[in-house]
Amino acid sequence: MEIKHPVQLNDRIHLIDGFDLGLAERTGTYVINEEHLTLVESGPSPSVQHVKKGLEALGFSLDQVKYIIVTHVHLDHAGGAGLLLQDCPNATVVVHKKGARHLADPTRLIAGAKMVYGEKFSNLFEPIVPIPEDRLLAKDEGDLLKISPTCTLQFLDTPGHAKHHFSIYDPISNGIFTGDTVGIRYDQLVRDGIDLFLPSTSPNQFDPQAMQQAIDRLLAMNLTSIYYGHYGMTKNPNNALKQVAEWLKIFMDEAQAVVDEKKGADELADRLFDLVRNHLREMDVKDNHEVYEIIKLDMQVSAFGMIDYLSK
Ligand SMILES: [Zn+2]
C-alpha cells in the first residue's frame, strides 16, 4: 500500500488521499481538527484503509472521530462510510436529508453504480456496509453542526450534480466543502501551474440549471477557499467557479449538438475529451500527461449524465 502523509491545507484542515480508482490525487477525505474531530467524505470502501492510516499519521485515534460528513451518497464519496463507521465507535454519519435512507439501505445506490461502472463495480466499491439509522444524522438547507465552541458548520442544499447533495460551509476558513456540485479540480495539473476545473455531470440527477445556481450562490459568498471532493483545495474560488460555469455551457452545447445529430454518449465523451485536450495543448500540456487517464473517465461519466438529462 502506498504511504502518503496527509497534506496540511491550513492550521485546522488536512487532506488524506484515498487512492480512489487506484489513482493518486483523485478523491480525498478532509480532516477538520476541532474539539469534535470531523471528517468530510469517507471515500469508497477501498479508500478506508488509507483514511485510517492518514488519521494515525496525524496522531488521531479512531475513537476520536465524532462526525463523518458525506457531501452526497454517490459511492466514491460515501460508499466507505459504513465500513469506516464500524471502526469509529463514537462517530455519526452526517448526510443530506434525501440521501440518508440510501445509506441505511444501499440497494438502490448499488444498482445505480452498477449501471455506470458495470463489471468494474466490485473492485471499485465493495463492500458496501449499511449504516444503522441511529448512527445517521440528516441535514438540510440552513442546518448547523457545532463541532467546537468556536466552530459551527453550516449546510447548504446544493443540487445540480445530485439531489442528495449539500455543501458544508466552514466559517473559520471562510471555505466550503463542495463535493462534486461545482466541479472537479485536477491537482495533477496544478504543479504545472494550470488550474483546470470541469463540471461533473454524472447520471442520473444532473440538472444544469441547479448546478449553475449553486455556482452563482457560491460566487456571491466571497469565499476564501473551496475544498473539492476531487481533489484538493483552491484559494482562488471565484476564478474556479467562473471557469466551471464556462465549461458547463460548452459541455451542454456539445451535448445538444450530439443529440441533434442522433449520436450517443460515446461520441459526446470523445468530443468533450478533444475539447479539453485542445484547451490544454494551448497551455503546452503534453498529450501523454497523466491527467488524461482521469479526464477520460470523467468525460465518459459526464457524457452519460448529460445524454440522460437531455433524453428526459
Ligand atoms: Zn464524485
SS3 42: coil
Compute how many other C-beta atoms are within 10 angstroms of the C-beta atom of residue 172: 16
Cα separation of 178 and 198, whole Å?
A: 13
Cα separation of 232 and 245, whole Å?
A: 19
Q: Are 171 and 155 in contact (CB under 8 A)?
A: no
C-alpha 186: how far from chain center: 12
Query: How many angstroms does the Cα of residue 76 sit away from the middle of ligand 1?
Result: 5
Query: How many angstroms does the Cα of residue 181 sit away from the middle of ligand 1?
Result: 9
Q: Give the single-character DSSP code of 224.
A: S
Query: How many angstroms does the Cα of residue 180 sit away from the middle of ligand 1?
Result: 5
Query: How many angstroms does the Cα of residue 149 sit away from the middle of ligand 1?
Result: 31
Query: How many angstroms does the Cα of residue 230 sit away from the middle of ligand 1?
Result: 7
C-alpha 194: how far from chain center: 20
N- to C-terminal Cα distance for the chain? 43
Query: How many angstroms does the Cα of residue 231 sit away from the middle of ligand 1?
Result: 10
Query: How many angstroms does the Cα of residue 152 sit away from the middle of ligand 1?
Result: 25
State the chain's mean pLDDT as an integer.
96
The closest alpha carbon to 28, from 151, 192, 139, 177, belongs to 177
Query: How many angstroms does the Cα of residue 283 sit away from the middle of ligand 1?
Result: 26
What percent of the chain is predicted at pLDDT more than 90? 94
How does DSSP assign 113-166, residue by residue? Answer: HHHHHGGGHHHHH-------GGGEEEE-TT-EEEEETTEEEEEEE--SS-TT-E
C-alpha 205: how far from chain center: 15
For the segment 2-46, what is each residue's pLDDT rounded down to a tens digit?
567 999 999 999 999 999 989 999 999 999 999 999 999 999 999
Query: How many angstroms does the Cα of residue 288 sit away from the middle of ligand 1?
Result: 24
Cα separation of 54 and 5, whole Å?
A: 7
The closest alpha carbon to 13, from 141, 147, 166, 143, belongs to 147
Q: Are 178 and 218 in contact (CB under 8 A)?
A: yes
The closest alpha carbon to 65, from 76, 47, 78, 52, belongs to 52
**One-letter amino acid for residue 116 of the chain:** V
For the segment 177-233, what is each residue's pLDDT rounded down to a tens digit?
999 999 999 999 998 999 999 999 999 899 999 999 999 999 999 999 999 999 999
Query: How many angstroms does the Cα of residue 150 sit away from the middle of ligand 1?
Result: 30
Query: How many angstroms does the Cα of residue 228 sit away from the middle of ligand 1?
Result: 9
Kindly report the pTM of this predicted structure.
0.97
For the segment 122-162, what is each residue's pLDDT rounded down to a tens digit?
999 999 999 999 999 999 999 999 999 999 999 999 999 99
Q: Which domains does the chain have, with CATH numbers?
A: 7-245 (3.60.15.10)
Q: How far is CA 76 from CA 28, 42, 64, 250, in A?
A: 10, 8, 24, 26
Dihedral of CA atoms 228, 21, 274, 158 in degrees, nearest 10, equals: -30
Angle at Cα 177 formed by Cα 216 and Cα 198, nearest 5°?
Answer: 60
Mean pLDDT, range 259-264, rounded to an integer: 97
Checking phi first, is residue 25 left (phi over 0); if not, alpha (psi -120 to 50) or beta? left
Query: How many angstroms does the Cα of residue 52 sit away from the middle of ligand 1?
Result: 20
Mean pLDDT, range 111-119, rounded to an integer: 87
Query: How many angstroms does the Cα of residue 229 sit away from the middle of ligand 1?
Result: 6
Query: How many angstroms does the Cα of residue 49 sit away from the middle of ligand 1?
Result: 19
Query: How many angstroms does the Cα of residue 1 sit away from the middle of ligand 1?
Result: 22
